[in-house]
Structure 1
Amino acid sequence: MMTLWTVLLFFTVFLNLWTMLNSLSLYPLEKRQGDASRHSVSLLVPLRNEAANVKGLTESLKRLTYDNLEVILLDDHSDDDTYDLLVSCTGNDTRFRIIQGNDLPEGWNGKVHACHQLSEQASGDYLLFLDADARVAPDVIERTMATMEKHGAAMVSGFPRYPNFHFLSHMLVPLQHMIVLLHLPLFVANRTTKPMFTAACGIFLMVEKQAYQAIGGHQSVKGSLVEDVHIAREIKKHGYRMILVNITGSVLSYMYDSSAETWAGFKKNIFTGIGRSTVMAVGLSVFYTAVFLLPAFLAVTVLFGAPVYYLLPYLLTVAFKMYTDVKTGHPLWLSFCLPVAIVLLIAILFASMAVHKRGESYQWKGRSYL
């Protein structure tokens, strides 16, 4: 046990040092600049059965202060009141335009096809893709433009702050920030055009239209379930710079309405997100078990007479998660639940892999995806 404690202590100390150093390369959004509105921006939102989000979304977008802006909202064959609510909530604001989506062609992901249609309607020099569950600060466009100009980036994305109201969402959704800081060397990702070092979040994705058209837009990733990452990789493959920024102070996302929806959403994306690699799934599960679950096991042995210092590896994993949560605006009590979150993450990873192995389809918002 002493040898196990020593090994775990070493890895958890390294974990904390790596996370802190890596986070230094996660750029903040820059302060707004004086002439920020000289470029036109098209803000594009696909909506499918988003009646619960329409009011909050449109109220947020109405407060945007960017002058040179058009907002296009696409209702993607919703069978709730999404379209009617869009019409009533946008009112006489001339910045807004509402369109209805075409039928989904074979081979396309639903959201990807909706984004493709939105891009065809857009006239802006820059395209800002948002999800319907996003809420943004009034000056977010000015600050994003300033960030892109400072770093010479053709594309910017980031993971928002996630207010969660359900157990599974609390456990899983904020892990996205932790996983990026743990696995992605941001110094390389934000300073090179190497496609393998890429992360992105489709909730908030802004891209220069010329670069977007050069890669073939969303049509180039039409069948993808993780189109945000694949778009970012295409941007880098074509020699453009894409950066990941900390947007948690300016963007939040009510990502899932329930624990059941959280499970379905993660199951759809998680195995695809690692390239549907069984080796990667098993390797990550072993790694997370060793780094996050074994320290919790050692901590439990203290209750049965083991030395108190056996708590230290677990407390260091808590410190690692707490550091991430401080930077991203999430509740600090989540840090102590990290072992529970990791067990759930591994479970959903294997559930997602099982769907693929059985040749079944992933289900999301009434549509099926292989």
Structure 2
Amino acid sequence: MTFFFYSVVITTWWLAITLYLLIKGKTIAFLKAQPLAGAQPSVAIIIAVRNEEDDLEKALQSVCNLSYSNYRIIVLNDRSTDCTPEILATFLTHYPQLEVIHIKDLPQGWLGKNHALYQGYLNSNEEWLLFTDADVEFHPNALSKAMVYVDKNKLDHLTILPEIVSTSALLNSMLGTFTLLFMMQFRPWAASKPKSKASIGIGAFNLVRREAYERAGTHQLIKLRPDDDLKLGNLIKAAGFRQDVLVGKGYVGLEWYKNVPEFVNGLMKNSFAVSGYSLLKTLLGITFILLFIALPVPLMLLFGTNTIRLMACLILVFQAAYMATPVLPNKWWHALTIPLGGFLLAYITARSAFITLKQKGIYWRESFYPLDMLKGN
């Protein structure tokens, strides 16, 4: 009877959450649907790079070839030891709108990327700042369309949900579960509502009005946050400025990680930070993932009655319907890997907390940051 009740609760929850996410997801507009012609105020595109030789050339080429007429690119080379400086030197000879600043030292109390982005701001004077990553590829009209949307909606901050692709089929299926949980936790469709506590910021595309960035506190307030992109969005929303989000499919994209091990190691660095380094929040999050995401379908199919197995099949239908939504870069059959993705994300979350607590801090780009210092920020 207890297992039957659990199965009913889980099936009802999946029906409700699927309808909720499908309805709310459709309210997020697409960047590609925005008009092209409009005002073009000055924009500084700020990119922090460190040992990015594998992805930098292709991504930077796309940034240099934007159709926008009033922008400058500021690349902060943060102590790279690979061929990144040579790649940047080659670009400098061909693109006059590009400026490269080489950072040789990291001040105490800063994460390298956060410090580099802040230095980009200090070396700019443009009306708008676009913080982006060194592996992001842009459609030539991406910035023009974004600025038209910003001007039309009187925004202070616009972020883009990028199209995430990978050559690994397994990783692509895992990303389906990640985006599902991301949407549930951050509710990006609500970021534009002034009375909602929801906020959003994506490292691939954080476009912010200079005045809003300064009044929100700049990266100085989040200098030790591994999740600086999310926290920047939080700062801007908390300061009372208007923000919104668009889907960047076809216009803003990146290969976030090349395979599952890279995905695990990458998320391991900041998963505990997202919970504010709270062990209680982390344990609650892991429990939720296991009970509602990873375990239900396998348990119901393996140990349930025929009625419970039917409910498990209904859950799979709900999940497949959500995975097929055009907002996400997923396939319907990625629903079959949700349990595996759930176990993987629970493992990442648990191990991130365990390692951080065990070593009483985190290692970030070869530098160690004590937990007390991280919590203070």
Superposition TM-score, scaled by structure 2 size: 0.89
What is the SS of the residue equivalent to 2:108?
Answer: coil
2:312 maps to amino acid:
L
What is the SS of the residue equivalent to 2:181?
Answer: helix
1:363 equivalent in structure 2: 363
Q: Structure 1 regions of 5+ residues with no counterpart? A: none
Q: Structure 2 matches for 1:172-321, cutoff 5 A?
A: 172-186=174-188, 188-192=190-194, 194=196, 196-292=197-293, 293-301=295-303, 309-319=310-320, 321=322
CA contact (8 A) 1:265 1:364 kept: no
Query: Alpha carbon RMSD of aligned pairs, Å?
Result: 2.3
Measured after TM superposition, the shift of residue 147 of structure 1 is: 1.8
CA contact (8 A) 1:166 1:258 kept: yes
1:49 to 45, 48, 51: 51
Measured after TM superposition, the shift of residue 187 of structure 1 is: 5.0
CA contact (8 A) 1:167 1:259 kept: no
CA contact (8 A) 1:130 1:203 kept: yes
CA contact (8 A) 2:324 2:331 kept: no
1:216 maps to amino acid:
G
Alignment partners' CA distance in 1, 2:369 and 2:171 = 23
Q: Structure 2 regions of 5+ residues with no counterpart? A: 371-377
2:362 maps to amino acid:
Y
Alignment partners' CA distance in 1, 2:362 and 2:339 = 27
What is the SS of the residue equivalent to 2:269?
Answer: helix
2:130 equivalent in structure 1: 128
1:81-129: CA deviation from partner (whole Å, max 9, x where unpaired): 0010111144321111111014111110110000011111123211111
Once structures 1 and 2 are overlaid, which stretch shifts more, 275-284 or 349-358?
275-284
Q: Structure 2 matches for 1:60-209, cutoff 5 A?
A: 60-166=62-168, 169-186=171-188, 188-192=190-194, 194=196, 196-209=197-210
Alignment partners' CA distance in 1, 2:289 and 2:198 = 20
Alignment partners' CA distance in 1, 2:207 and 2:195 = 17
What is the SS of the residue equivalent to 2:60?
Answer: helix
1:342 equivalent in structure 2: 342
C-alpha spacing 1:321/1:283, structure 2 compared with 1 (3 Å): farther
C-alpha spacing 1:236/1:100, structure 2 compared with 1 (3 Å): same
What is the SS of the residue equivalent to 1:99?
Answer: strand
What is the SS of the residue equivalent to 2:292?
Answer: helix
C-alpha spacing 1:107/1:42, structure 2 compared with 1 (3 Å): same
Alignment partners' CA distance in 2, 1:308 and 1:35 = 55
1:36 equivalent in structure 2: 39
Measured after TM superposition, the shift of residue 359 of structure 1 is: 3.8
C-alpha spacing 1:58/1:187, structure 2 compared with 1 (3 Å): closer
Alignment partners' CA distance in 2, 1:187 and 1:158 = 12
Measured after TM superposition, the shift of residue 255 of structure 1 is: 1.7
What is the SS of the residue equivalent to 2:244?
Answer: strand
CA contact (8 A) 2:115 2:223 kept: yes
C-alpha spacing 1:186/1:222, structure 2 compared with 1 (3 Å): closer
CA contact (8 A) 1:264 1:364 kept: no
The percent identity for this pair of structures is 22
CA contact (8 A) 1:274 1:281 kept: yes
Measured after TM superposition, the shift of residue 66 of structure 1 is: 0.1
Once structures 1 and 2 are overlaid, which stretch shifts more, 39-48 or 57-66?
57-66
Alignment partners' CA distance in 1, 2:14 and 2:362 = 36
Alignment partners' CA distance in 2, 1:334 and 1:317 = 12
Alignment partners' CA distance in 2, 1:254 and 1:307 = 39
1:141-199: CA deviation from partner (whole Å, max 9, x where unpaired): 111112222322211113311112347743544544322322334454221165x4222
Alignment partners' CA distance in 1, 2:311 and 2:174 = 27
1:57 maps to amino acid:
A
Alignment partners' CA distance in 2, 1:311 and 1:229 = 34
Once structures 1 and 2 are overlaid, which stretch shifts more, 78-87 or 240-249?
240-249
1:38-67: CA deviation from partner (whole Å, max 9, x where unpaired): x01111111000011121112211321000
